[in-house]
């Protein structure tokens, strides 16, 4: 590789200036650009790795609310009528979901794990299915090994009337007095459940 040093003399306004320029061969510029690009990529990977957020920070954050839980009665998978009023005195997480909903599928293991941990402390998850055929719901419950109550809502009463939402998944946390304290839109991680719901259970 050859470097060329160019010395120029310029006359301007009665003065004489000398300038010196280092000229690089044209073939060196693509190599310099390639090296700079690789350096920027390596730096980006390094800093992204150092600043990546834990899973709990990547999940949706609930909105703190304060309004009475709706009157809602639906049938469970055995055809038995159930009501939210039956769970007064417990902390209830109502989860609205569907079998085709990818975020719903992703959050189910976290809901099941959290339920397993706190069910002996008067906590329950009620998963209300939004309009799927019962055969699909039964298969889903089996595949994900769900043990908390699952209710069927073939006519969308929970989403469209009781909780007034069209977004799945959506979750509502009801305290022991029957007041909704937290409202989630989107998937929930186990870390978020521990951070926001566990304190309500401990009250």
Are 71 and 41 found together in one domain? no
Structural domain that includes position 119: 59-202
- Overall domain count for the chain: 2
> What pLDDT score does 32 carry?
58
Least Cα distance to 141 among 101, 171, 105, 166 occurs for 105
> What pLDDT score does 56 carry?
37
Which single residue is written with the structure tokens 């709706």? 70
> What pLDDT score does 52 carry?
37
Whether the pLDDT of residue 161 is over 90: the answer is yes
Are 67 and 129 found together in one domain? yes
Q: What average pLDDT does range 27-43 have in this prediction? A: 59
Q: List Cα–Cα distances, 56 to 94, 97, 181, 195, in angstroms.
A: 20, 20, 20, 9
Q: Which of 16, 31, 51 is the last residue of a domain?
A: 51
Are 155 and 90 found together in one domain? yes
Are 13 and 86 found together in one domain? no
Are 97 and 183 found together in one domain? yes
| pLDDT tens-place string over residues 76-105 | 999 999 999 999 999 999 999 999 999 999
145/123 Cα distance (integer angstroms)? 18
| pLDDT tens-place string over residues 111-135 | 999 999 999 999 999 999 999 999 9
Least Cα distance to 84 among 178, 199, 187 occurs for 178
- pLDDT tier at 64, thresholds 50, 70, 90: very high
> What pLDDT score does 132 carry?
98
Distant-in-sequence, close-in-space partners of 55: CB < 8 Å, separation ≥ 6: 189, 190, 191
Helix/strand/coil for 143: helix
Are 43 and 74 found together in one domain? no
Whether the pLDDT of residue 34 is over 50: the answer is yes
Q: Where are the alpha helices (DSSP H) in the chain?
A: 28-51, 55-58, 102-118, 134-143, 157, 190-196, 198-202
> Does the predicted TM-score (pTM) go above 0.85?
no
What's the token pair of residue 20? 């010196």
């Amino acid at each position: 590789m050859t470097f060329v040093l160019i010395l120029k003399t310029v006359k301007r306004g009665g003065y004489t200036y000398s300038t010196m320029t280092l000229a690089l061969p044209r073939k060196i510029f693509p190599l310099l650009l390639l090296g700079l690009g690789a350096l920027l990529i390596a730096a980006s990977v390094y800093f992204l790795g150092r600043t990546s957020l834990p899973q709990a920070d990547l999940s949706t954050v609930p909105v703190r609310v304060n309004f009475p839980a709706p009157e809602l009665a639906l049938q469970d998978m055995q055809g038995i009528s159930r009501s939210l009023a039956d769970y007064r005195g417990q902390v209830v997480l109502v989860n609205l979901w569907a079998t085709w909903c990818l975020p719903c599928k992703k959050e189910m293991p976290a809901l099941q794990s959290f339920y397993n941990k706190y069910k002996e402390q008067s906590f329950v998850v009620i998963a209300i299915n939004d309009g799927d055929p019962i055969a699909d719901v039964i298969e889903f419950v089996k595949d994900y090994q769900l043990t908390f109550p699952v209710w069927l809502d073939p006519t969308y009463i929970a989403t469209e009337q009781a909780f007034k939402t069209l977004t799945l998944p959506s979750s509502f946390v009801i305290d022991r007095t029957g007041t909704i304290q937290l409202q989630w839109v989107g998937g929930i991680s186990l870390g978020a459940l521990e951070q926001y719901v566990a304190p309500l259970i401990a009250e």
